[in-house]
A = this chain, B = another copy of it.
Amino acid sequence: IDQTAVQHALARQDQLTKPPGSLGRLEELAVRLAGLQRTATPEVDPVRVLLFAADHGVAAEGVSRYPQDVTKQMVRNIANGGAGVAVMAKAVGAGLDIIELGLATGSEVVEGVRSEPLGPGSGNIAREPAMTPEQLARALDIGRDAVDRAVDAGVRLIIGGELGIANTTAAAALASALLDRAASEVVGPGTGLDSAGVNRKAEVVARALALHASEPRAPLEMLRRLGGFEIAALTGAYLRAAQRGVAMLIDGFIVSSAALAAVRLQPAARDWMLFSHRSAEPGHRLMMEALEADPLLDLGFRLGEATGACAAVPLLRLACAVHRDMATFDEAGVSNAC
């Protein structure tokens, strides 16, 4: 963060025709973006959602209310414009890059979907590592490449999104390991498990943690063993966005596990992250605390896909508009405070 740009932005905010601080977090956002972008006039457009989809072997443990076919069906639904993220990205004027990294019933050609299969889904983390080292490296690369495509096209705000039946289980396992928390503290209902289902899921995550516990506690190895293709791709994307110097808006529970992994791998990546919303998934709070994040919205979302981040995009735009377009006391001939 460029401290000169931050100081200039703070000084400008105090000259705008409003009581100092009276636009609260919108002011913070404008100042932060000014510092990140090293400019007096921060902007978030163009915005692009990078949506990574993949299946998870751990679905075999009965940890989701939805059959595994739904991952592939939802990839089509996103591409066709019918899914939550498709409607919301369009409504807020964000681009959408859909990347499929491996489906249980095989990849298929879908218009508007980039297919980069690493296998028929990640391994069942309750029995084996999620990925081979080669799959992990490839997933990180796929995330990195998606960011490069976006940044090369001029994108100023990167949003990571995800889709994959059973991926709250993988994200909970990864978060538990990274945070050194018990499975039961991090696991939640995901797409809508009842309490018996949550208990079963916590037991599966606990089994996965026990299975992989003797391994080196390096974040990258935790990601390989407990994550998933799309979670690793998101980690690679977040690391790359920070390297390229582009702000990211973080969505909910699953992408936050990837953001946490990225920050453990490269603490400076945290600077480039803005946090959009508090997920209704209980373990999200623990990740936000670890990342010292105070998300903008709290609307009870637990859909994932990047929908929470899409909902926060208009606030970032407003922050930039206020910073750029409001008149100063001098310009407007308005008396400042007595």
Query: Taking beta carbons and an 8 Å cutoff, which residues of A are in contact with B?
Result: 16-26, 65-67, 69-70, 73-74, 76-77, 80-84, 87-88, 90-92, 191-192, 280, 296-303, 307, 310-311, 314-315, 317-318, 321-322, 325-327, 331-338
Given A311-B26, A314-B314, A321-B91: A335 and B67 within 8 A (CB)?
Answer: yes
Is B87's CB under 8 angstroms from A322's CB? Answer: yes
Contact B191 A19 (CB under 8 A): yes
Bound: A310/B319 CA distance, A? 12
CB contact between A301 and one of B24, B327, B338 (< 8 Å): that residue: B24
Contact A25 to B337, CB < 8 A, known contacts A82-B332, A321-B87: no
Interchain CA distance A333-B74 in the complex, whole Å = 9
Q: Is the CB of A327 within 8 A of B73?
A: no
CB <8 Å contact, A22 and B301: yes
* A24→B307 CA distance, assembly (Å): 11
Q: Is the CB–CB distance between B83 and A338 below 8 Å?
A: no
Cβ-defined partner of A300 (8 Å) among B25, B81, B307, B338: B25
Please pick, from B26, B298, B311, B322, the residue contacting A318 in the complex, using a CB distance under 8 A.
B311
The verdict on A26 contacting B299 (CB below 8 Å), with A66-B338, A83-B17, A191-B19 known, is yes
A77 in complex: contacting residue of B17, B74, B280, CB < 8 Å: B17
Residues of B within 8 A of A337 (CB): 65-66, 191-192
**Known interface pairs A66-B336, A76-B333, A83-B326; 16 further A-B residue pairs with C-beta atoms within 8 A, sorted by A's residue number:** A18-B84, A21-B192, A21-B300, A24-B300, A24-B302, A25-B299, A26-B301, A73-B335, A74-B334, A76-B332, A77-B333, A80-B332, A82-B326, A90-B325, A92-B318, A298-B298
Q: Provide the bound-state CA to CA distance between A261 and B221, in Å.
A: 61
In contact, B88 and A22 (Cβ under 8 angstroms): no
Interchain CA distance A88-B317 in the complex, whole Å: 10
- Which of chain B's residues have a CB closer than 8 A to the CB of A191? 19, 22, 337
Chain B residues, Cβ within 8 Å of A333: 73, 76-77
Q: Are A315 and B326 in contact (CB under 8 A)?
A: no
- Residues in chain B near residue A92, CB distance under 8 A: 314, 318
A307 to B321, CA, bound (A): 13
Partner of A326, one of B25, B84, B280: B84
10 A-B pairs in the complex with CB atoms less than 8 angstroms apart: A17-B74, A19-B65, A22-B192, A66-B335, A67-B338, A82-B331, A87-B322, A298-B298, A299-B315, A314-B315
